[in-house]
Chains A and B, each alone.
Chain A
Amino acid sequence: MLSYIVRRLAIAIPTILILIVLSFILMFAAPGGPFNSERPLPPQVLANIQAKYGLDQPYWKQIVNYVWNVVAHFDFGPSFKYKDRSVNDIIAQGFPVTLTYGFWSFIVATVVGITLGVVAAIRHNTWLDYFAVGISIGAQSLPNFVMAPILVLVFTLYLGWLPGGGWNGGQIEYLVLPVIALSTSYFASIARIMRSSMLEVLNAGFIRTARAKGLPMSRVIIRHALKPALLPLLSYLGPAFVGMITGSVIIDVYFSTGGIGQFFVNSAFNRDYSVMMGITILVGVLTILFNLVVDLLYAWIDPKIRY
């Protein structure tokens, strides 16, 4: 197990470095820097600004400095657009918001998805099964940028029940629509995976044994069938997590929740490269770590996996 962890880390760490260097090289390849404006700055001013941000140094030195600062101090440097704020400030402001509704979406997607999948599997080929499958097929093609306008249309414009945007410190009524919009397509996928793996498990011999010794169905499901059926789902959680972080860009922009996605898109329009890079790297590191945790969990839970 230990050697497996080491080996996985040996892949994860270079991946993170490659990501950092790659995004840095991209930034150099950009035609026109962040300080190009309509009115060209006097050369002396430009030189001063570039010296301040360290852009006058040779490329290799800039890369080394940047990587060193990120790795050793978790310092993504100053924002190119907002002179009084660093990238760290921006992340510190936006990330808790993203994390809050991301967490709730994750919970909602897993709980609803698993329930739907299990119910469909238990009542295989009944109207309940068809209903659950229908819902999950329908929801799968409803990505967050489709769900968000539909939800606002129905619940804000027509019914007037919930606010169509804003954050307000994360009060529950501001959370509901973002969480639904973000989790819809994921609970659909989870339900489909859960249903097929549950069906497979229910046909296994040990379930028949459990039934034969007279256990009630509910106990068989909870005690015996659920755990092995959850295994295939585990490997989907990695991509689902990535999708939710990515989806948060839409949620932030559409609902003005003020998470990192909003800063990312704003900096994309402002060509504020340091903020974009900081957020890309942050998300990349999170993704890699999350996948690592899922893989380790998988290896730990499933004895069949050799590592």
Chain B
Amino acid sequence: MFPSKQTADALVQAANDAEVKGRSLWRDAAIRFRRNRAAVVALCVLGLIAAFALFGQLFAQWSNEEIDWSIMGAIAQKGAPSIANGHYFGADELGRDLYARVVQGTGISIMVGMVGSFVAVMVGTLYGAVAGYSGGRTDNIMMRIVDILMSIPFMFVLILLLVIFGRSITMLFVGIGLISWLDMARIARGQTLSIKNKEFVEAAVATGVSPMRIILRHIVPNLLGIVVVYATLLIPGLIMTESFISFLGLGIQEPQTSLGALISAGAKQMRFGVIWQLLFPLGFFLVTLYAFFFVGDGLRDALDPKDR
């Protein structure tokens, strides 16, 4: 028995009413992320720090290389932070404006983290996906290589690299890029192993799509969630690595600077009563790290299906 036209119309009407606008998984994640107050605040803080690094120079009264001769030699007495003489954060031991230096250092530190993280995403994801998808002997050899590279004390090798090829920012990027992709490769491989048995991959194989195309079109997009999370959590780690090396004086060289180099300079000078030289870079360093950690944690809660 067919329903009468009236009933059918009512049914269609009801179905239309009940239909909720579809939400993609990314949209779902965005909503979850927005509900996490700490992560949202951290994201705003990160935005402010990025704005500070990008545009802070516009508000500086001094450039980062200019030396204020009027206070040089009497930094402890005259170099303290003040609005009046234009040194908002004070001056360093050479009479350079610390505000301008912190702007510069924050920018470089964040850049190092981003570049390293970018390399990790590009190389590590692809490497892990290829290893995981190939399986068998290829997988075994590729992951053994990662194991071997991981067990090398990279901080020491990185310093060795910097000493041998000269301490340049390019070399630092190369060195950090060399380390950063290893973890990502492992994570991507693990995730690929579970994705590759899904039906949609089977369907792609059945329709004759080439393996490389399957990896790029079907595997990698599905890795993105976890990749984004770990890329975010990687940035503070890389900032720490760079700061570690710059603290030793082996990383970023003058006149360029990074937060690690500034902290190092501040730590050396603090016994002369110029505590601001330590506190401002340190403050920016810690706030940046915390912000990245919280954003990463928030992203993990939002994107990682395991912890729901």
Q: Which residues of A contact B (CB under 8 A)?
A: 11-12, 14-15, 18-19, 22-23, 26-27, 29-31, 137, 140-143, 145-146, 148-150, 152-153, 157, 242, 245-246, 249-250, 253-254, 264-265, 268-269, 271, 273, 276-277, 279-280, 283-284, 287-288, 291
Q: Are B267 and A254 in contact (CB under 8 A)?
A: yes
Q: Does B248 contact A249, Cβ atoms closer than 8 Å?
A: yes
The reply to whether B153 and A140 contact each other, CB–CB distance below 8 Å, is no
Q: Do A268 and B250 touch across chains, with their CB atoms under 8 A apart?
A: yes
Q: Interface residue tally of chain B, by bracket? A: 35 or more
The answer to whether A145 touches B260, judged by C-beta atoms less than 8 angstroms apart, is yes
Q: Which of B114-143 contact A (CB under 8 A)?
A: none
Cα distance A153–B278 in the bound complex, in angstroms: 10
Complexed CA–CA distance, A152 and B271 (Å):
10
Q: Residues of B contacting A269 with CB < 8 Å?
A: 249
Residues of B near A14 (CB, < 8 A) are 148
Residue of B nearest to A19 (CB): B152
Are A145 and B153 in contact, CB atoms less than 8 angstroms apart?
no
What 9 additional pairs, Cβ within 8 angstroms, besides A22-B152, A268-B163, A283-B156?
A: A12-B151, A31-B166, A140-B293, A141-B293, A145-B247, A250-B244, A276-B163, A280-B157, A284-B156
Q: Which of B164, B240, B260, B275 contacts A153 (CB 8 A)?
A: B275
Chain B contacts for A242, CB-based, 8 A: 153
Asked whether, in the complex, the Cβ of B286 is within 8 Å of the Cβ of A288, the reply is no
Expressed in whole angstroms, the Cα–Cα distance for A22 and B148 within the complex equals: 12
A141 in contact with B156 (CB, 8 Å):
no
Expressed in whole angstroms, the Cα–Cα distance for A11 and B285 within the complex equals 39
Q: Contacts A140-B293, A288-B151 hold; do A145 and B160 have CB atoms under 8 A apart?
A: no
Instruction: Tell me whether B161 and A18 are in contact (CB under 8 A).
Output: no
- Chain B residues with CB under 8 Å of A145's CB are 243-244, 247, 260, 263-264
B147 adjacent to A11 (CB under 8 Å): yes
Nearest CB of B to A76, in Å: 14
Q: Which of A140, A149, A279 has the largest count of B CB atoms less than 10 A from its CB?
A: A149
- A288 vs B263: C-alpha distance when bound (angstroms): 32
B144 in contact (CB, < 8 A): yes
Min Cβ gap A24→B in Å is 11
What are 25 A-B contacts defined by CB distance under 8 Å? A15-B148, A18-B148, A23-B157, A26-B160, A26-B161, A26-B164, A29-B165, A31-B166, A141-B286, A142-B286, A143-B240, A145-B243, A145-B247, A146-B263, A146-B286, A149-B266, A152-B270, A265-B250, A276-B159, A277-B160, A280-B153, A283-B153, A283-B156, A287-B151, A287-B152
The yes or no answer to B71 lying at the interface (CB within 8 A) is no
A-chain residues with CB within 8 Å of residue B151 when the two chains form the complex? 12, 15, 284, 287-288, 291
A contact patch SS: helix
| A265 engages B248 (CB within 8 Å) | yes
Q: Are the CB atoms of B270 and A153 closer together than 8 Å?
A: yes
Shortest A98–chain B CB gap in Å is 13
Task: List chain B residues, Cβ under 8 A from A148.
Answer: 267
Q: Is B266's CB under 8 angstroms from A11's CB?
A: no
User: Which residues B139-184 have CB closer than 8 A to chain A?
Assistant: 144, 147-148, 151-153, 155-157, 159-166
Cα distance A283–B243 when bound, in Å? 21
**B113 interface hit (Cβ, 8 Å):** no
Knowing A15-B148, A148-B267, A246-B155 touch, does A143 contact B163 (C-beta < 8 A)?
no
Cβ-defined contact, A271 with B153, below 8 A: no
Nearest CB in chain A to that of B246: its residue: A145
| Residue from B147, B152, B240 whose CB has the most chain A CB atoms within 10 Å | B152
Minimum CB–CB distance for B141 against chain A, Å:
12
Distance in angstroms between the alpha carbons of A291 and B156 in the assembled complex: 17
Nearest CB on A from B98, distance (A):
16
Q: Which of B275-303 contact A (CB under 8 A)?
A: 275, 278, 282, 285-286, 289-290, 293
Chain B positions within 8 Å of A142 at CB level: 286
Residues of B within 8 A of A265 (CB): 159, 248, 250
Residues A280 and B156 in contact, CB atoms below 8 Å apart = yes
Whether A149 and B278, one on each chain, are in contact in the complex, defined by CB atoms closer than 8 angstroms, is yes
Of B148, B153, B240, B263, most A-chain CB atoms within 10 Å? B153
Q: Which residues of B contact A271 (CB under 8 A)?
A: 163
Establish whether residues A287 and B153, one from each chain, have CB atoms under 8 Å apart when the complex forms: yes
Residues of chain B contacted by A291 (CB below 8 angstroms): 151
Q: Does B79 contact A (CB under 8 A)?
A: no
Docked complex Cα distance between A295 and B247 (Å): 33
A77 CB, min distance to chain B CBs, angstroms: 16
Q: A250-B244, A265-B248, A284-B153 are in contact. Are A149 and B159 (CB under 8 A)?
A: no
A264–B158 Cα gap in the complex (Å)?
12
| Residues on B with beta carbons closer than 8 Å to the beta carbon of A22 | 152, 157
Contact check: which of A18, A23, A137, A253 meets B160 at CB < 8 Å? A23
Determine if B107 is an interface residue (Cβ-Cβ < 8 Å).
no
**A141-B290, A145-B260, A288-B151 in contact; A264/B236 too (CB < 8 A)?**
no
Residue of A11, A143, A280 ringed by the most chain B CB atoms within 10 A: A143
Q: Which residues of B contact A150 (CB under 8 A)?
A: 282
Cα of A146 to Cα of B284 in the assembled complex, Å: 12
Does the CB pair A250–B247 fall under 8 Å?
yes
In angstroms, Cα B290 to Cα A23, docked, is 35
Q: B282 to A146, Cβ gap below 8 A?
A: yes
Produce 1/0 per residue, B231-244, CB < 8 A to A. Answer: 00000100010011
Which one of B157, B165, B260 lies within 8 Å of A30 (CB-CB)?
Answer: B165
B244 touches A143 (CB 8 A): yes
Complex interface: chain B residues within 8 A of A287 (CB): 151-153
B148 touches A146 (CB 8 A): no
